[in-house]
Structure 1
Amino acid sequence: MAASEPSVPAAAPAPRLQAVGFGAPWRWLAAGARDLRAAPGIGLFYGLCFWGMALLLGAVFRSLPEYTMSFISGCFLLGPFLAMGLYESSRRREAGLPQSLSDSLTCWDQHLGSMGMLVMVLVVMELLWGRASLVVFAVFFDTGMPSTTHVMAAIFNPRNWEFVAVYTLVGGLFAALVFSTCVVSIPMILDRDTDAITAGLASLQAVSERSVPMLLWGALILALVLGSLALPLACGLLVVGPWLGHASWHAYRGCYGTATGR
Structure 2
Amino acid sequence: MTEPEPPAEPAAYQPYVPPPSTVPQALMQPLGLLDPLRWLRAGWADFRAAPGIGLFYGACFWGMALVLGLVFRNRPEYVMSIASGCLLLGPFLAMGLYEVSRRREAGQPPTLGASATCWEPHLRSLALLVLVLIVLELLWGRASLVVFAVFFYTGMPSTTGVIRAIFNPENMEFVMVYALVGGLFALLVYATAVVSIPMILDRGTDAISAVITSIRVVAANPVTLLWWGFLITLLVAVALLPWGAGLLVVGPVLGHASWHAYRGAVRWQEPPAAAGAD
**What is the TM-score of this pair, normalised by structure 1?**
0.89
Q: Is the aligned partner of 1:208 residue 2:229?
A: no
Rate the CA distance shift 1:222–1:258 in 2: closer, same or farther, 3 A.
same
Instruction: Pick the aligned partner of 2:235 from 211, 218, 224.
Output: 224
Work out the number of aligned pairs and report it: 249
Q: CA shift at 1:82, angstroms?
A: 2.0
Determine which structure has more spread, i.e. the larger CA radius of gyration.
2
Greater Cα offset, 156-165 or 200-209? 156-165
Which consecutive residues of structure 1, in runs of 5 or more, have no partner in the other structure? 1-9
User: 1:180 & 1:244 partners in 2: Cα distance?
Assistant: 16
CA contact (8 A) 1:35 1:90 kept: yes
Instruction: Report the equivalent of 1:161.
Output: 172
Mapping of residues 96-135 of structure 1, within 5 Å: 96-135=107-146
Amino acid at match of 2:144: S
Q: CA shift at 1:22, angstroms?
A: 2.0
Greater Cα offset, 67-76 or 103-112? 67-76
Mapping of residues 1-262 of structure 1, within 5 Å: 11-72=22-83, 75=86, 78-141=89-152, 144-229=155-240, 231-257=241-267
Q: In structure 1, the residue corresponding to 2:243 is in which secondary structure?
A: helix
**What is the TM-score of this pair, normalised by structure 2?**
0.84
Greater Cα offset, 144-153 or 193-202? 144-153
Instruction: Provide Cα deviations, 1:195-250, integer angstroms capped at 9, x if missing partner.
Output: 11111111000001111111110010011001111x22111111100000000000
Instruction: Report the equivalent of 1:4.
Output: none
Which consecutive residues of structure 2, in runs of 5 or more, have no partner in the other structure? 1-20, 270-278
CA contact (8 A) 1:180 1:203 kept: yes
CA contact (8 A) 2:87 2:130 kept: no
CA contact (8 A) 1:76 1:175 kept: no
User: 2:149 & 2:167 partners in 1: Cα distance?
Assistant: 16
User: 1:223 & 1:70 partners in 2: Cα distance?
Assistant: 22
Amino acid at match of 2:237: L
RMSD: 2.0
User: 1:188 & 1:219 partners in 2: Cα distance?
Assistant: 22
Amino acid at match of 1:131: R
CA contact (8 A) 2:87 2:134 kept: no
